[in-house]
Amino acid sequence: MHDFTYYNPTKIEFGKDKENNIGQYIKESGVKSVLLHHGKGSIKKSGLYDRIIKSLNESNISFKELDGVVSNPLLSKVHDGVQIVKENKLEAVLAVGGGSVADSAKAIAAGAKYDGDVWDFFIQTAEIKAAVPVFTVMTLAATASEMNGNSVVMNEKTQQKYSIASVHVNPVVSVVNPELMHTVTTEYLAYSAVDIISHCIEIYFTATHHPKFNSRIVESIIKSVMETTEILLENPTDYDARAEFAWVSSQALNGLTPAGTAGGTFPNHMIEHALSAIYNIAHGGGLSIVIPAWMKWYKNQNIEQFERFSREIFGVNDANKGIEMLEAWFSKIGSPISLKEANIPREGINELAKNAYELGKLWGLGESYSVEKIETILENA
């Protein structure tokens, strides 16, 4: 095992009705005012919005509001949020929704403590040194944004979907009530399952050093996601399955799985960000296209781990068969596995590859993933 520092400062409040206490959790943190940040109206239809407002009022937490977050959160909305926080001298950001809302909230929190353009953090011309506190109430399990310092935002002007990672934007408190996730559509349940798997499978395959303990954690996460997804497709209100799915989602990207590994990278995310930046495809839907295509291209660079994956997850000893079975499972749960299924034309591959390559350079992957190599991977799709 390689040396590492593991630090996760987020407090998770997990369970039924915990959202009703969000005002109390914020008050206990010494915060008196927040930007209430949410999506396009679903929390109002469900009654969650009213419960959040009631809790904030009971704890004397004042707030301003910014709604309208979309599935690939936009930089323009982040700019709006930063302006509101600064003008009203708000002390924190409260995200109520899925990972996109949480990601947008984190970017706002960082931008609120910065004199320049928050996009500077995403293109790595500035470092996040401070942020206002972030709190979340999650209505979707997928990104683990409730328990990490990551944020992905889309610059709609430049078609760049880039990310930040900083402990300064780790949520202070995150509420995870599985009951709030019962109404997630089967489509987004599938996308979420793919997303969770992707978060730990990338380093599992690309790490130059991956201890067996870490491999077993990743395999447990993947098995749990597959098992609970199939249960939830049959019975969306199965609380135990929903709860396990939600908690597994947090573990996949809260810093646990890569601790002690070395040399891991995220090429699938690099490529998928191009798909959703240019074609606005759902992140999980893009990943279910990219992952099998990349696996077919990469497998011989780490054949032992691919054989292990096939054996531990699907009970077969053949790497190619394991890839086929994962791809088949993605299709079975309703996530696309080809560019054609997502209405992405073959003629668009070059543009996608160039977009992904620019992000790859930022992530230190430029030498490993040329435009031509990314095109080859996408041809597999």
How do residues 281-330 score in pLDDT, each as one tens digit?
Answer: 999 999 999 999 999 999 999 999 999 999 999 999 999 999 999 999 99
Question: Per this entry, what is the length of the chain?
Answer: 381
Out of 180, 200, 216, a domain closes at: 180
Q: Residue 165: how many CB atoms within 10 A of its CB?
A: 14
The Cα-based distances of 59 to 32, 94, 290, 326 in angstroms read: 9, 14, 46, 48
Which residue range(s) make up the domain with 240? 186-379
The Cα-based distances of 6 to 113, 167, 209 in angstroms read: 25, 11, 17
Report the distance separating Cα 272 and Cα 28, nearest Å.
39
Q: Residue 302: give its domain's CATH number.
A: 1.20.1090.10
Report the distance separating Cα 226 and Cα 244, nearest Å.
11
Q: Annotate 244-258 with DSSP letters as a single string.
A: HHHHHHHHHTSSTTT
Give the tens place of pLDDT for each residue, 120-142. Answer: 999 999 999 999 999 999 999 99
Q: Residue 132: its pLDDT value, please? A: 98
CB 342 within 8 Å of CB 275: yes
When the pLDDT of each residue in the chain is averaged and rounded to a whole number, the result is: 97
Do residue 166 and residue 212 come from a single domain?
Answer: no
Do residue 167 and residue 192 come from a single domain?
Answer: no
Structural domain includes residue 2: no
Structural domain includes residue 5: no
| 111: pLDDT strictly greater than 90 | yes
**What is the pairing mode between strands 134-138 and 173-176?**
parallel
Do residue 205 and residue 335 come from a single domain?
Answer: yes
Average pLDDT over residues 84-108: 98
Out of 164, 180, 196, a domain closes at: 180
Do residue 135 and residue 207 come from a single domain?
Answer: no
Do residue 331 and residue 292 come from a single domain?
Answer: yes
- The confidence band for 41, taking pLDDT boundaries of 50, 70 and 90, is confident
Q: Residue 134: give its domain's CATH number.
A: 3.40.50.1970
Structural domain includes residue 81: yes
Average pLDDT over residues 97-123: 98
Q: Residue 40: its pLDDT value, please? A: 87
- The confidence band for 371, taking pLDDT boundaries of 50, 70 and 90, is very high
Average pLDDT over residues 353-358: 98
Do residue 90 and residue 225 come from a single domain?
Answer: no
Token digits of residue 287:
């990943």
- The confidence band for 204, taking pLDDT boundaries of 50, 70 and 90, is very high
- Residues above pLDDT 70, as percent of the chain: 100
Q: Kindly report the pTM of this predicted structure.
A: 0.96
| 353: pLDDT strictly greater than 90 | yes
Out of 163, 180, 197, a domain closes at: 180
- The confidence band for 343, taking pLDDT boundaries of 50, 70 and 90, is very high
